[in-house]
């Protein structure tokens, strides 16, 4: 045991530690870069996953047509198709209500200045004739 302490005491340390080690800087930059690349990949995969889920779902009308085709092919029983149709019919009504409701028209844009009043309507008078009236 004494020899271990004796050896540790005889280890010489460098006279002065370097204040700035470029290897530490490069290792830190590499780690930060790897973290940023990983975060970007996770974000892109998440967007792709959400987009793929929305495209596959489709409208209620498209889904009902697909399930009707499966029913006609015999892949679905009458009971399964009726349950699916009841669910999708309600969704189809909701989609139609959203599509049928027109967006409110935006109010007309008015100038900041007061509008100029229009002249009152007058009866149209024939233009005065010039000359002797012969053509």
111: DSSP letter: -
H-assigned helices in the chain: 2-10, 22-57, 60-73, 78-100
> CA 49, CA 103: separation in Å to the nearest integer?
31
Total-model pTM: 0.35
Domain residue ranges in the chain: 23-57, 59-100
Position with higher pLDDT, 130 vs 88: 88
**Which two three-digit tokens encode residue 56?**
């596959």
132: DSSP letter: T
pLDDT at 90: 86
> CA 108, CA 69: separation in Å to the nearest integer?
49
Task: Round to the nearest angstrom and report the end-to-end CA distance of the chain.
Answer: 139
pLDDT of 46 higher than 60: yes
pLDDT of 135 higher than 70: no
């Amino acid at each position: 045991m004494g020899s271990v302490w004796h050896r540790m005491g005889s280890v010489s340390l460098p006279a002065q530690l370097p204040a700035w080690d470029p290897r530490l800087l490069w290792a830190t930059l590499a780690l930060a870069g790897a973290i940023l690349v990983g975060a970007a990949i996770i974000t892109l995969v998440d967007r792709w996953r959400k987009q793929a889920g929305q495209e596959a779902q489709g409208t209620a009308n498209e889904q009902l047509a697909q399930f009707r085709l499966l029913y006609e092919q015999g892949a679905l029983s009458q009971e399964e198709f009726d349950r699916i149709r009841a669910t999708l019919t309600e969704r189809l009504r909701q989609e139609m209500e959203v599509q049928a409701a027109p967006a409110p028209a935006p109010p007309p844009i008015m100038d900041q200045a007061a509008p100029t009043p229009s002249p009152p309507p007058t009866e149209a008078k024939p233009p005065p004739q010039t000359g002797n009236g012969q053509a």
